[in-house]
Copies of this chain bind each other. A is one copy, B any other.
Amino acid sequence: MAEPMDYASAGVDIDLEGAAVASLIGSLSASIRPAGTPGAPVDLPGGFGGLIEFGDSLLALATDGVGSKLQIASQLNQWGGVGIDCMAMNVNDLLCVGAEPIAFVDYVAVPKPDPATHAALGASLAEACRLARVTLAGGETASLPGIVTELDLSGTALGYVKKGNAITGEHLQDGDILIGLPSSGIHSNGYSLVRRVMEHSGMDYTDDAPFNVASIGRSVLHFDGKDDQQFTLGEVFLNPTRIYCDPVVDLLHLAESGEAGFSLSDVRAICHVTGGGLSNLLRLHDSLGWHIDAPLTPHPEFEWLQVTGGIETREMYRTFNMGTGMILAVSQEHADAMCEWLNQRMIGTSIIGKVIDHGHRVTHAIEGVEFSHY
């Protein structure tokens, strides 16, 4: 092909999205709820939003949808994973402030309701609730034939954290250690580019994946018991997003208890690697930098996408999680202990880098993978 593909050429205008969101936020005003009362907004040092006061706790809401990954699910009529994707996108965001997710509601918009699709979605959401350990506290299905041409799925998760226990990044320091938790594949970001590469490749989602899918740790959900089988490209791309509540919530509880020698103050920051890839790290601190010297191995579909789409390496790391779905920045002193504890619960977890005072940028073992803007 003439030009390398990138996320923008796949039809996603990030600047326009940013301008639109900025317009919306610019029109908002301060909350009417006074400090010290239920619902009063909380400004955390790291600039995190979305937390509100509630007695001795802070409550956090996260809202997000599955995005264009749904178009592949629609095309294949495979809805078994997207409830997990929807849950994951929301609860993983809550974990980043140290909040424990407790409840979830879903919003489904369809051109026309279909009981079979909804049964599959319900099963997927039920599995998601079990994995995230939350209560499904409601939901809405809207028939909007004039607005949606195929199913849209989004949701909202509610979490809480004790006052004083929120994780904000404010105690980050030079030398802190980065622990990488493996992703289960592409998760729920970058699908406009995935779909564009697929179009370009001339392959179908029902074709066998031209790589060894099971060569690397996966979400146990959809690949379990299939180690010796071949998978289609559709199955690979629809593998659901990993939910990190187990083990991250447990690690936070353990830290709070002090029973393992480390405390909550040893967990400095948590990053959910979503759209923007490793550049998400830049959101955690205003001035410190990040160096990834021992990255987790990306799943083979990332290499296939890169080669097939002629995508530059830096663009891959700015669009996809490249094998690492969540990153914990922890104190040097207790990094090995925490990593070992996490790895026993999520195989493939390892130390991938460190916090470094080399300017507000992300650097990487692969030359050229460097970000100084989110």
Contacts and interface: CB of A to CB of B under 8 A. Distances in A.
A152 B152 contact: yes
Interface string A93-134: 000000010110111111011111111111101100110011
Contacts of A100: 38
Contact of A116 (B23, B59, B71, B102): B23
Interface in A64-110: 64-65, 67-68, 70-71, 100, 102-103, 105-110
Contact of A112 (B16, B55, B116): B16
A147 interface: yes
A151 B147 contact: yes
A137 B41 contact: yes
B113 A38 contact: no
A91 to B, nearest CB: 12
A63 B138 contact: yes
Interface centre among A63, A71, A148 (most CB of B within 10 A): A63
Nearest to A62: B138
Contacts of A2: none
Contacts of A50: 105, 137-138
A143 interface: yes
A139 B24 contact: yes
Contacts of A145: 11
A223 interface: no
A149 interface: yes
A71 B146 contact: yes
A122 B27 contact: yes
Interface centre among A33, A40, A70, A107 (most CB of B within 10 A): A107
Given A33-B133, A119-B23, A109 B65 contact: yes
Q: How many copies does the complex hold?
A: 2
Interface centre among A39, A64, A107 (most CB of B within 10 A): A39
A258 interface: no
Given A55-B55, A130-B32, A141-B17, A150 B152 contact: no
30 contacts: A12-B143, A16-B112, A16-B113, A20-B115, A24-B118, A24-B122, A26-B119, A27-B119, A27-B125, A28-B125, A28-B136, A29-B126, A29-B129, A32-B135, A33-B135, A38-B160, A52-B135, A52-B137, A54-B54, A54-B57, A61-B103, A68-B144, A71-B146, A107-B107, A107-B156, A109-B109, A146-B150, A148-B148, A149-B149, A154-B154
**8 pairs of A and B residues whose beta carbons are closest in the complex:** A27-B122, A39-B102, A20-B113, A24-B122, A156-B156, A31-B135, A23-B119, A24-B118
